[in-house]
Each structure stands twice: as C-alpha cells, then as structure tokens.
Amino acid sequence: MGRLTGRTAIITGAGSGIGRASSILFAQEGANLVIADKAETVHETAQLVKDAGGKVVSLTGDAGEEAFVESLVATAVKEFGALDVAWANAGISGGWTAFEEQDAAFWAEVLRVNLIGAFLLVKHASKVMIPAGKGSIICTASVAGIRSGAGGSPYSASKAGVISLAQTSSNEFYGTGVRVNAIAPGLIETGMTKPIFDGARARGNEDKIGQLNPMARYGVPSEIAHAALFLASDDASYVNGQVIAVDGGLSSSHPVVRRKR
C-alpha cells in the first residue's frame, strides 16, 4: 500500500511544475486528489493522474479568491468524503521589477496570491480537519523567504509571510492533531523560473545554473514533490510548524566565491 492510500489531498498550482509532479506522485502513493490551477493545463495534469491509476477532480480558478478555495474543500468532501492533506502550492513570482518602479497594487497582487491564498487554504482545510482530529497542511514558501538574494522584494516578503503562517497557524491548532508545515524550494526548473533557464542556455551558461549551492546544480519538481509526500504522510507525524528548505544547501550559507577542490 502507498503512503497516502485512502486519503484525500488538495493541491493548488497543479497545472505544471511542482504541482504536477506532486499530483502524479501523490496518486501513485494512493491519494484521491482535488487539483486546481488558474491555467487550463490542470486538466492535462488530471489526465496524467488518471493514467497513473489515480482518482482526481480538476478545477480552474484563482487560489487567492476565498470562494474558490472554499469550493476546493467542499469538492474534496463531496467527492471523497474527507480531506486529509491540503497543499497551498499556487504562487506567482512578480518578476524582477525595479524597486522604484513597484507600487502598492503590484505588491498587493503578489501578497494576495502567495500569502493570502495560502492562508485561505489553511483556514478552510482546517475546518474539516479539526473535527476529524488529524490532517496535514503544507504551504509552498521559498528560500527567498529565508533571506535576501533569491527573488524580488514582494515575492520574498510574501514567502517570508508563508513561513510565518506555517509557524503561527500550527500553534493556532494546538491540540487538534492538525499539522502545518512549509517547504522552501531553491532554484527549481519550473514554468516560473523558465526565463532564468532560457537566458542561461541562450548564453551557453547552463552548467552554471545552481552553482551557488553545495550540490552545484539546480533542482527538479520531483525533488520537491518527495519532500511534500513526506510531510503529507505519517512519516512526518511529529513534524509541525517547520520550514524545510529543499535547495541543495543554498540557504545554509552566505554567498561566497567557491573554489573547486
């Protein structure tokens, strides 16, 4: 039996990248899925899940809108009778707009999707999980939320907020059996980071992508998916209120010029 056999999971941002890889992995581990994305490609992910033998419902919508998030939770309960895992994975980068060109509306949109969207899933998933006395909620943060240098200011601030959300909400749910944790990916090749990879490849510098971390390489979506599987499963039954960096060791150090041994 898989580690998620008989359990139901919601995954947002499932149209590509980390969300897609995780949807397939969770299905292979036995989970029933409700997956969501703003992009229609979420339905392609659903087909891949079905091809892997999984049960899935796919919905398109905005993970930063409360009514849509409520509908995800309601769908999980209606279709599968329970909600055991909720992963607030949807997010936007906001790009690298110069600081002096940023305005309040730009910040508000990044925070709405990345931080308020995560809060909404924590809020509504917990309403189902608390009466059941158990549940795992996962939020996608970023190494950009740990310290400067990995993203623009609004993105980094939103992800720092996600880390705090995991810590504070886990304590809000004291004694309920509901766990809340965050994953902080490093440089992962996804649709969000495509411009970075495309630019490096165009310059012939692909071998330098990820060179700042001790693994000296970039990551792939499946590596984040496996970290999420751990947090979703009983293997992490005593892990709560934590942020787990999956970044090749990038966040373990301040930037330095590396010398090959």
Residues with a known catalytic role: 155
Which residues lie closer than 8 Å to 203 by C-beta, 6 or more apart?
Answer: none
C-beta of residue 213 within 8 angstroms of C-beta of residue 247: yes
Question: Within 10 Å of residue 97's Cβ, how many Cβ atoms?
Answer: 13
How far apart, in Å, are the Cα atoms of 131 and each of 23, 69, 84? Answer: 26, 19, 12
Q: Are strands 85-88 and 55-60 parallel, antiparallel or unpaired?
A: unpaired
Please give the Cα distance from 87 to 62 (Å, whole number): 15
Alpha-carbon gap, residue 244 to 226, rounded angstroms: 12
CA dist 20 and 24 (Å) reads 6
Residue 249, Ramachandran bin (φ over 0: left; ψ between -120 and 50: alpha; else beta): left
Cα(247)–Cα(250) distance, integer angstroms: 6
Which of 32, 62, 63 lies closest to 50, judged by CA? 32
Two tokens, residue 179: 């766990």
Asked whether 228 and 183 are in contact (CB, 8 A), the reply is yes
